[in-house]
Chain A
């Protein structure tokens, strides 16, 4: 039996949904006009006022927001509420040196957690379940989002956060967790570790997993489902919009339902910014319809995918998005963390290395690996091996504090990294996803 957290919305008729979106959009545009001077200026530059926005059909008149806007307006420039009404921030791992810092009022947190609760119930969760949240807690949205959703559903929540694999397995085993939330690569790793410990699906009580924050393939889904004996559900989100739960998979496991009463999606041509007809593949753009503190309007996600209104067997009428095919810029997602080549470059240059570097990403034993190869320079070279090793360690440490994940550093000979005539080939991604 299919379960819903907010059935009236999740299964609303197209007309009902349209009415909700129209009402919220009109209100939201006025809210932003009155409270976010940065966006108001963008509207003025385009000659648009709130009076021009009467329904979702007018959405195209509004200007876009991009990651560059977020950087420019950092940290408070896009704030839609006084700080005294904000209760939380969450943050990304940092883009080109500057993090995205997103603000939340209590209302914003509630709607975010509602979205996560919908995802958990779509994965079969109820108040009888034991939900282990093995996403990182802290600035990263994964842990706090699913934690909140799990509370709303009424699951017994185990906030293990990420890491300490053997302890994770102990909790799954001892407390008979039934739902696991983490990155897909970590789920695969947990499965492998359990196997090593002589445990199989029959030894544990897990029935479902909610996995997101990084790209994963159908092959990987099959593997995880088999090793853990569960059904694995995809979940999608961005810190800019709230976090996980912008879209979620249902029992059909074919595309993710977008919580379109909160996040209105569009697909555009990333080059011309033109809105594409239904079913086309293009860049996903979202308008957060009722977020107060960090109200994103027409935010360009850089994710390339397509939307579909086809009827779903789960009964939900929420529009579906396909798993994003890729990013339209150079951002990498490694172990669920956003990594930009420019961040790596910053650390290298700060520590006196050359700007001739290459980033090699791979997936070994279901875990993403990051290898930074950098050319040795006469200035950095010394006859003292210990000193070179010490500097190498310092670089690993510098990268970890910038990126939030561990990278391997390989020193290579000068001119061994291929030079390019145009844009340098900085990234070699060998992951087969």
Chain B
């Protein structure tokens, strides 16, 4: 099961990200993972949150432009070669990654999450499950 990532349009100017995180904080939203992609004049913030519906409402009320994108979140042991172990099965299944980023899955767990944006979610999930990886299916905790 893919999880929903929220991608927000932001101008590439000082203070713009701060404006967004401020309204999310005020609404009690927790960010689980975040990545920034930028061009010369604008950027896209990609994030995984604990409450997708709540976040969507807050963003909409504050005139942010965003879109929901399905991504695959896979739990990876935080060890040397951890990411490499994930990529092997994906290469074998001919999965092409558009982008990815990572976040720790809680300090004690000894795991990290890799967030993967791929064209074929199902194929990716099957390949990872078959290789014994655990996929987040209801957000990241």
Residues of A within 8 A of B (CB): 376-378, 381-385, 388-389, 410-416
Contact = CB atoms under 8 A, between A and B. Distances in A.
Interface of B: 5, 7, 9-11, 16, 37, 39, 41-42, 44, 46, 63-67, 69, 98, 117
29 contacts: A376-B42, A377-B65, A378-B65, A378-B66, A378-B67, A381-B9, A381-B65, A381-B67, A383-B7, A383-B44, A383-B69, A383-B117, A385-B37, A385-B39, A385-B44, A388-B42, A389-B39, A410-B41, A411-B9, A411-B41, A412-B41, A412-B42, A413-B9, A413-B16, A413-B63, A413-B64, A413-B65, A415-B63, A416-B11
Q: Interface SS of chain B: helix, strand, loop or mixed?
A: strand
A414 B65 contact: yes
Contacts of B39: 385, 388-389
B66 A381 contact: yes
By Cβ-Cβ distance, the 10 closest A-B pairs, closest first, are A383-B7, A383-B69, A381-B65, A410-B41, A413-B11, A414-B63, A376-B9, A376-B65, A381-B9, A411-B42
Contact of B67 (A382, A413, A415): A382
B71 to A, nearest CB: 9
Contacts of A384: 98
Contacts of B67: 378, 381-383
Nearest to B66: A381
A376 B67 CA distance: 12
B46 A383 contact: yes
Contact of A412 (B7, B11, B64, B66): B11
Nearest to A373: B41
A142 B64 CA distance: 47
A389 B16 CA distance: 20
A411 B11 CA distance: 8
Contacts of A410: 41
